[in-house]
Amino acid sequence: MASAAQQPLIYFHSLVLENVRCFGEHQVLELTDAQGRLARWTLLLGDNGVGKTTLLQCLAWMRPVRTGEAHAIEPVLNNEGNNVLNSLLRTGSEVTLELGATLSVNQSLGATKPRNQGIDTGIRLVGKNGQLQRAEPTTNRFPPRFRNIDLLEPPIFAYGADRRMGAANLEKSDLSDPLATNATLIVPIR
């Protein structure tokens, strides 16, 4: 494996969803600022059940990995079992799910001139009555100039808060917030 100095910077630029769980028609999550530069921070806020966790899971599933073919990539989701794929499908007589992501390579966060040096991954799932019928990778582009580098998975940081009191807190009567939060922070180790 190449040293850290030789590794490219890889960041998600955008995520495209269609018919994924609570997301219906074609929607795009842009991870850029108003000038099109990679955003330093993206906050996902919303009520329970609106899809915040689904977005984080989709980002994780759209990470590019190499296939057995020379210089070919596909999203990690393509390697998941049917139970995961079925869990993403919306119900309906026939539903086509589309997921895609664009990742920027060697573009610093907040760069003034974004360079479109990217990796594209995508997958299409077709389901009938909530059951997967077929899965096929769609757009999977990996520019030739990056084919000789180690493809590291981009880091995905997630903070999740659930509104249940932990068992250790149940005996404490001095809690000021009756909805004490248990939090998880996921940080990749390199």
* Residue 52: partners with Cβ closer than 8 Å, 6 or more residues away: 44, 45, 46
Residue 170 included in any domain = no
Per residue in 158-168, pLDDT (tens digit) is 555 555 544 54
Domain, as residue range, for 62: 8-154
Residue 113 included in any domain = yes
Task: Calculate ∠ Cα 186-119-79, nearest 5°.
Answer: 60
Name the strand (E) or helix (H) holding 104.
strand 95-105
User: What's the chain's average pLDDT?
Assistant: 76
Question: Structural domain tally of the chain?
Answer: 1
* Residue 55: partners with Cβ closer than 8 Å, 6 or more residues away: 15, 17, 29, 44
Residue 126 included in any domain = yes
Residue 161 included in any domain = no
Task: Supply the pTM of this predicted model.
Answer: 0.74
Name the strand (E) or helix (H) holding 11.
strand 10-18
Average pLDDT over residues 101-118: 73
